[in-house]
Chains A and B, each alone.
Chain A
């Protein structure tokens, strides 16, 4: 949901797998909802990894490991590949994550996160692997994500990296604005384009 985003400092949940696809983030059988109920989607985030076949919690999965919690999900490269389902971003937001850190994101999912005020932060593979090591060695490791300065800092060792985001989207996130507001305000420009292109 629309909320403004500035600086987040939090512990992290580490998920060091690569190519995590949106079918894993939220399996298709949970896509039948017709409303945007973030709690429902959040409750089913990583459903088939989080629960065993008999419905009991899978103690080996990181979301069920009491040592790890926080508003930042840290995942292996190519996060969010596959299906365009925005339900994956709703599930991440609904669970309570505000930031996803990875060395590489799939395009559609990255847009979906941004459109739901979840910030995808792209870091170098080296920064990512070191962050995983820090978190596993000390689950209390804190990370600061500073959107105004576009900087992520691993507070356990002070290592920090710049991250990219376009100025328009940064402005939207910091001020709780979305693209639909912008496009509706610009309908006169769209009509002009249609006249010029006989469309």
Chain B
């Protein structure tokens, strides 16, 4: 029991419930507007106050429009949900970064970039992509609204201890291959439910070589193979990233924290319930062809044959029918309609650098509608500080205001029925980006290649 996960979990056990779950202390609760209102409603009905309001941070992101955020939200129901969060945060005395607040953005982008997410923490949010924060060396996982209410009421949660899995990726990623491709490759190999019941630690040379932004992307997608969460041992890159961040410890507190953080790694004799191994040099730019993130393949590959067993056949065929694809065909060269860069998966500065590096000196194809959406105001400022906005503008792209945008069709950015979108988001489920929308998940580089070519293109051909 000396894995990275065990160390953090064990340090947060308040008690073991007899023949039941663990009562686990939670260091940080993040709340967005969609999965919190019924938790606040429950708190009011029970007459409860938040047990540790200073540990709770709230911000709207799902419903936020990606333009004219200084004006009232046009969709009345969206506006009401955003306003409800603001009121709830005020009533319960919680930290709140509202629309147009300089610290606003997608909650999973803001937490790490502000130093709110730190190594060794337990972190939860009513959002499955809470796994993102594991990149900082935290135990972070998504929960339901009843569980959000538990944490509000007690700063604790009742959870069964998950099993542990280590995913080792040795070797070095090829040129034009990113953390997103690594994640889509692993999910395709393990399937969309392949890590259900497990908490994953990513390890190996290719993981250590990822930037912090790349690690956040990798951990973000842990839930797409069913994992309870994903995490990476903190190292010098993590510490350098955090040093000086607004909410990170300072001075002596920093030194004390650093000494502890350096102990947060799986010991050499650590035993995992499951270990899997991949070679980074086997990974090429990935793209999905179906309606779950496990239905992905190398961009030069052909869609696999329909499975023979009856139970899987129907689901697979339904998926291809929805996408308008045939088993055995290639996707390279197929025209697409939309390109989306953003989301908690790929809305960070490195993603914009990667996109810009491909489109620089080229121009957006006429058949493409492109939405480039930074994950936070801080990312947007950094884009401008580095002059990436000029490169993108010259290539025919504009930068929108931060939010979840076209990832999940809760705001104005929706992909129309039947249209194909190469998207850097995390889910290609039926209707995810709008009723009838057809999503092809890919990296920022692959999205950029589609944006300038108007069709599915291997980004390595544009390097």
Instruction: Please report A residues at the B interface, Cβ cutoff 8 Å.
Output: 16-19, 21, 23-24, 27-29, 31-36, 48, 53, 76-78, 81-87, 89, 104-108, 111-112, 115-116, 125, 129, 166-169, 178-180, 182-184, 186-187, 189-190, 193-194, 197, 199
B150 on interface, CB distance cutoff 8 Å: yes
B357 on interface, CB distance cutoff 8 Å: no
1/0 per residue B2-37: CB within 8 Å of A? 000000000100110111110101010000001101
B contact residues, total (Cβ < 8 Å)? 72
Complex contacts, B35 vs chain A, CB 8 Å: 31, 84-86
Write the chain B residue with the least CB distance to A179.
B158
Decide if A186 touches B23 in the complex (CB within 8 Å).
Answer: yes
Write the chain B residue with the least CB distance to A85.
B35
Complex contacts, A182 vs chain B, CB 8 Å: 17, 158
Question: Which 3 pairs between the two chains have the least Cβ-Cβ distance?
Answer: A168-B20, A167-B19, A183-B154
B249 on interface, CB distance cutoff 8 Å: no
Complex contacts, B312 vs chain A, CB 8 Å: 18
B203 on interface, CB distance cutoff 8 Å: no
Complex contacts, A184 vs chain B, CB 8 Å: 46, 48, 153-154
Say which residue of B41, B142, B318, B436 sits within 8 Å of A108 (CB atoms): B142
1/0 per residue B142-174: CB within 8 Å of A? 111111011001111010101000000000000
Decide if A34 touches B192 in the complex (CB within 8 Å).
Answer: no
Decide if B25 touches A190 in the complex (CB within 8 Å).
Answer: yes
B263 on interface, CB distance cutoff 8 Å: no
Asked whether A112 and B156 contact (CB < 8 A) given A107-B196, A189-B15, the answer is no
Closest CB of chain A to B452's CB: distance in Å?
A: 30
Write the chain A residue with the least CB distance to B36.
A34
Complex contacts, B145 vs chain A, CB 8 Å: 86-87, 112
Decide if B311 touches A18 in the complex (CB within 8 Å).
Answer: yes
Known: A183-B154, A184-B46; 11 extra A-B contacts, CB below 8 A, are A18-B312, A18-B315, A23-B429, A31-B35, A32-B34, A82-B429, A107-B196, A112-B145, A167-B18, A168-B17, A190-B51
1/0 per residue B107-137: CB within 8 Å of A? 0000000000000000000111010000000
Decide if B311 touches A81 in the complex (CB within 8 Å).
Answer: no
Complex contacts, A116 vs chain B, CB 8 Å: 146
B346 on interface, CB distance cutoff 8 Å: no
Decide if A189 touches B14 in the complex (CB within 8 Å).
Answer: yes
Complex contacts, A19 vs chain B, CB 8 Å: 192-193, 292, 294, 315
Closest CB of chain A to B116's CB: distance in Å?
A: 16
21 contacts between A and B (CB under 8 A): A19-B193, A23-B408, A27-B431, A34-B41, A35-B38, A82-B223, A86-B38, A86-B126, A108-B142, A125-B311, A168-B17, A168-B19, A169-B20, A178-B146, A180-B42, A180-B150, A180-B153, A184-B46, A184-B153, A189-B14, A199-B25
Instruction: Please report B residues at the A interface, Cβ cutoff 8 Å.
Output: 11, 14-15, 17-21, 23, 25, 27, 34-35, 37-38, 41-42, 46, 48, 51, 62-63, 77-78, 80-81, 84, 126-128, 130, 142-147, 149-150, 153-156, 158, 160, 162, 192-193, 196-197, 223, 226, 228, 292, 294, 310-312, 314-315, 318, 408-410, 417, 427, 429-432, 435-436
